Amino acid sequence: MEQIFDDLIELYLREKVGISENFLTKQLSSDLRDNLLRLSEENKLKDAQIGSGDDKVQNSLIRKDKIFWLDRAHSNAAENAFLDLMDSFVVFLNTTCFAGIKSYEFHYALYEKGSFYKKHLDQFKENGNRQFTSIFYLNEVWKQGDGGELRVYLQDTCKDISPLQGKMVFFKSSELEHEVLQTQIQRMSITGWLKND
């Protein structure tokens, strides 16, 4: 994994967005996708909200995904394997980049056909604890025209990233504006934040 972490961070430092095509193995991403679909069938997913604390509101004009937070207390093998990988990624970041990451949070996200998430920053105004955003895609197939790309806004351009299985995207939460374009197919992912508190 060290090489994968290293390449990701190098790309992040150079371009403000790190992309790794095979961060998760096929096995792990399919197991996580199966979890997500099972949670959806069991009606465990909740409408995602915007803001934090008392300002939390559900606004389907801004985002229309459904989410479920990962937790070791679920004793789910795939979830734990994913969190183990995140633990080693955090150690790597803290030792090679002195990133000062102390905690993290991750949720599954399901975007049904027609869903989107308008342009935003991931850091809340009143709380700056989210340092880095990381997103992991779980769709086994995705083709041009399926929509649901992650659009990231760079200096003078923007870049569309296809949400394909195994891929991980990494950027600084307070800096990079981004959006999820309307998807034409069911879109599955895990999104999370590395935090300094």
Binding site for ligand OGA (CB under 6 A): 109, 117, 122, 135, 150, 178, 180, 189, 191
Only one residue has tokens 């342009």, namely 119
**Which lies closer to Ni ion via its Cβ, residue 122 or residue 146?**
122
**Minimal distance in Å, beta carbon 109 to ligand OGA?**
6
Q: What is the CA radius of gyration of the chain?
A: 16
Beta bridge partners of 171: 133
Structure tokens at 158: 């923007």
Among Ni ion, ligand OGA, none, partner that 66 touches (CB below 5 to 8 angstroms by kind): none
Instruction: Determine contact, residues 17/176, Cβ cutoff 8 Å.
Output: yes
**Which lies closer to ligand OGA via its Cβ, residue 20 or residue 96?**
20
**Minimal distance in Å, beta carbon 12 to Ni ion?**
16
Instruction: Determine contact, residues 153/181, Cβ cutoff 8 Å.
Output: no
**Which lies closer to ligand OGA via its Cβ, residue 69 or residue 77?**
69
**Minimal distance in Å, beta carbon 10 to Ni ion?**
23
Burial class (CB in 10 A: 0-12, 13-18, 19+), 30: middle
Q: In angstroms, rounded to a whole number, what is the distance separating the alpha carbons of residues 49 and 35?
A: 21
**Minimal distance in Å, beta carbon 128 to ligand OGA?**
16
| Three-state secondary structure call for residue 71 | coil
- Using CB under 5 A as the criterion, which residues of the chain lie in contact with Ni ion when the complex forms? 122
| Alpha helices, DSSP H, located in the chain | 2-15, 26-41, 77-96
**Which lies closer to ligand OGA via its Cβ, residue 94 or residue 121?**
121
Among Ni ion, ligand OGA, none, partner that 189 touches (CB below 5 to 8 angstroms by kind): ligand OGA
Among Ni ion, ligand OGA, none, partner that 101 touches (CB below 5 to 8 angstroms by kind): none
**Which lies closer to ligand OGA via its Cβ, residue 42 or residue 160?**
160
